[in-house]
Amino acid sequence: MLLKESQHKLVKLPAWRRRLLLVVLLSSFMLLLARGFYLQTLHKDYLIKKGEAFSRRKVVLMPHRGKIYDRHLKPLAISLPVESLWVNPTDVQLSTPQLKQMASLLEMSPKVLQQKLRTPKKEFVYIKRRVAPDVAKQVMAMKVPGVFSQKEYKRFYPAAEVAAHIVGFTGVDDTGVEGMELHRNALLSGTPGKRDFVQDRKGHVVEDLVAVTLPHDGQDLVLSIDRTVQYVVHRELSRAVEKHKAKAGAAVVLDAKTGEVLALVNIPTYNPNNPVNVSSKLRNSAIVNIFEPGSTMKPVTAAAAMEFGDYLPDTKIQTAPGFLHIGAATIHDAHPNQVLSVAQVIQKSSNVGSAKMALSLDKEKLWNTYIQLGLGSATKIGFPGEAAGKVRDYKTWRPIEQATMSYGHGISVTLLQLARAYTVFANEGELLPVTLNKLAEPPVGRQVFSAKVANDVKDMLELVVQPGGTALKAQVTGYRVAGKTGTAHKLGEHGYEQDKYVGSFVGMVPASNPRLIMAVMIDEPNNGEYYGGSVAAPVFSAVMTDVLRMLVIPQDGQALPVAPTVAPAEAVKEAM
């Protein structure tokens, strides 16, 4: 009885303690209610976001990038399907054996893979991009929670180095980085789609929250390039650069009737399928580099002299004794001559004869001729980084500058501009626009010279390839060739470099009715030869020997025009 009374006294609490306990319990309950009210009303956005972070996913659906074709629909750039693997690091549950297995499949070190899986404060991390579909399938077969596969595309370039500077390449996000991939990126890219869904903790899709937005594939692009011609030019230009131990080389082939670029090659080049450490090879020299064209400008001077002066092809000019003083400067001919006709000035590439013709012309008309030919302004071919070249305002010309520009010194052009300028001699004085896109119909040109003057100059250019001319190595068996060589010292920091040259040649064939125009430039040949007739003209000959046959262009190898005879001294025109 005493024991029971004692126990009863132990469990019985004082009134104040019972009240305190009741207050604590009620207060705790009220705090929980307040907290619940706060989280479900005032702070519900935060909870929703946290919940979505664990279960809701947004995936971009990549469009198929448009293909790039040559003019005959041979592929230059195509996209192949690949997979990209990604994770939400907070969801990944990966055992040590699984880590090693996945790293082995992806050809990664387990340490690097584990670092990606432990990326802090990120809910989307790529494990590896552009994985072969069969490899991605093996990884997904491991059924690791939190590991996902996303379809993407990898760009492939069948022509590789041959067309690299035209086509360019894309980056890891399938966005154009160089060339036409960059210039026409908006057209080729298309529009991405998206998918917004809820997943469970094992990565299974529970529900699509909204309708899936399908991607819109990019458009295909058909270039004017002929992949076969491109290959031949690449082969022959590579051989020339190697043979002459040159720093670089470039070549452009145009359709003489449309201005379409059939081939555009630069050496050195790179492989766009694996563009690693290629920064020094990315420049498209034919379009973005400028150089002094040298004697390839003399036909333009002769055309201007006949168009705006009182010259004819057989007008005689005294070039003896092989040099000409202009103020304190002196112009020299590489090989002194006596009396030469205008045609022979072009054939023998006389600086003195060309300078005398230029000095006899109104300098504004000569300047306007250069401008009308598109020199000093970009061709608007649409290629990234295209250079405009440089033609100084005629108001600043001194006599020596007017003279030297007549044979391509003191003026700068791109190789594409130079090739385009020669379209006037192939089309009876009409300058054509140039394009890298295949045309559905002939373009509208601009008349620069009269048809007679242009044809007369074309005949003169045939003499350059005949005995007595500077481009015997440009001949093509069975075809008449018209063209002009050029050799110029390179400009350095302190003026012209005496031991560095640019050798060039621009030609057209068949000369009776030109179908193709080709401009070749060899930069800093360093193996004993540097004249355009020795280093650049043979490239033209080798390329055209194959291309004319491949394009089934009829031969026109009839008798060539005969150089005008030299007139008596009293008939000589002292053009100064």
The CATH number of the structural domain formed by 242-264+285-531+548-573 is: 3.40.710.10
Query: Region 93-110: what's the mean pLDDT?
Result: 82
- Region of poorest pLDDT, from 193-207, 221-235, 271-285, 453-467: 193-207
Closest C-alpha to 457, from 418, 428, 479: 428
Question: Residue 560: how many CA atoms within 13 Å on its side-chain side?
Answer: 24
> Is residue 264 scored above 80 in pLDDT?
yes
pLDDT at 278: 86
pLDDT at 568: 36
The pLDDT-based confidence of 507 (bands split at 50, 70, 90) is very high
Query: Region 204-217: what's the mean pLDDT?
Result: 63
The pLDDT-based confidence of 300 (bands split at 50, 70, 90) is very high
The larger pLDDT score, comparing residue 106 to residue 222, is at 222
- Region of poorest pLDDT, from 102-106, 221-225, 463-467: 102-106
Q: Given its phi and psi angles, is residue 376 left (phi above 0), alpha (psi -120 to 50 degrees) or beta?
A: left
The pLDDT-based confidence of 58 (bands split at 50, 70, 90) is low
pLDDT at 163: 96
In one-letter notation, the amino acid at residue 189 is: S
> Is residue 201 scored above 70 in pLDDT?
no
Query: Region 68-92: what's the mean pLDDT?
Result: 86
Say if residues 281 and 270 touch (Cβ distance below 8 Å).
yes
pLDDT at 141: 82
Question: Residue 498: how many CA atoms within 13 Å on its side-chain side?
Answer: 0
How far, in whole angstroms, is CA 180 from its chain's centroid?
Answer: 6
> Is residue 559 scored above 70 in pLDDT?
no
DSSP 458-510: HHHHHHHTSTTSS-GGG-BTTB--EEEEEEEEEEETTEEEEEEEEEEEEEEES
Catalytic annotation, residues: 295
In one-letter notation, the amino acid at residue 54 is: F
> Is residue 380 scored above 60 in pLDDT?
yes
Is 242-264+285-531+548-573 the same fold as 58-222? no
Question: Which CATH superfamily does the domain covering 58-222 fall into?
Answer: Penicillin-binding protein 2a (Domain 2) (3.90.1310.10)
pLDDT at 526: 93
Measured distance CA(182)–CA(159) in Å, rounded: 18
> Is residue 99 scored above 70 in pLDDT?
yes
Closest C-alpha to 465, from 305, 254, 299: 299
> Is residue 41 scored above 90 in pLDDT?
no
Count of C-beta atoms within a 10 Å radius of residue 129: 15
pLDDT at 151: 77
**Structural domain spans, the chain:** 58-222, 242-264+285-531+548-573
How much of the chain exceeds pLDDT 70, in percent? 86
Query: Region 10-26: what's the mean pLDDT?
Result: 74
> Is residue 9 scored above 60 in pLDDT?
no
pLDDT at 265: 97
The pLDDT-based confidence of 34 (bands split at 50, 70, 90) is confident
The larger pLDDT score, comparing residue 551 to residue 16, is at 551
The larger pLDDT score, comparing residue 44 to residue 561, is at 44
Strand partners, 412: 390
Query: Region 468-481: what's the mean pLDDT?
Result: 95
The larger pLDDT score, comparing residue 114 to residue 464, is at 464
What sign does the dihedral 87-89-90-94 (CA atoms) show? positive
Query: Region 11-27: what's the mean pLDDT?
Result: 76
Closest C-alpha to 147, from 211, 240, 85, 82: 85
Count of C-beta atoms within a 10 Å radius of residue 111: 9
Measured distance CA(59)–CA(199) in Å, rounded: 12
How far, in whole angstroms, is CA 174 from its chain's centroid?
Answer: 17
Note the pLDDT tens digit of each residue in 385-415: 899 999 999 999 999 999 999 999 999 999 9
How much of the chain exceeds pLDDT 90, in percent? 60
> Is residue 423 scored above 70 in pLDDT?
yes
Question: b/e map of 343-371 (b: 16 or more CB within 10 Å)?
Answer: bbbbbbbbbbbbbbbbbbbebeebbebbe
Q: What angle do CA 490, 493, 494 make, to 5 degrees?
A: 90
How far, in whole angstroms, is CA 328 from its chain's centroid?
Answer: 44
Question: Residue 145: how many CA atoms within 13 Å on its side-chain side?
Answer: 12
Say if residues 434 and 259 touch (Cβ distance below 8 Å).
yes
Closest C-alpha to 265, from 243, 281, 248, 286: 286
Measured distance CA(255)–CA(381) in Å, rounded: 15
**Pairing of β 68-69 and β 221-222:** parallel
Cα distances from 479 to residues 224, 459, 474, in angstroms, run 25, 14, 11
**Pairing of β 495-509 and β 516-523:** antiparallel
- Measured torsion, CA atoms of residues 127, 132, 137, 142, in degrees rounded to the nearest 10: -40
Give the SS3 label for residue 261: strand
DSSP 370-389: HHHTTTTS------TT----
Count of C-beta atoms within a 10 Å radius of residue 295: 29
Measured distance CA(223)–CA(70) in Å, rounded: 5
Given the structure tokens 């046959």, which residue do they identify? 549
Query: Region 237-257: what's the mean pLDDT?
Result: 97
Count of C-beta atoms within a 10 Å radius of residue 27: 10
What is the average pLDDT score of the chain?
A: 86
Measured distance CA(418)–CA(376) in Å, rounded: 11
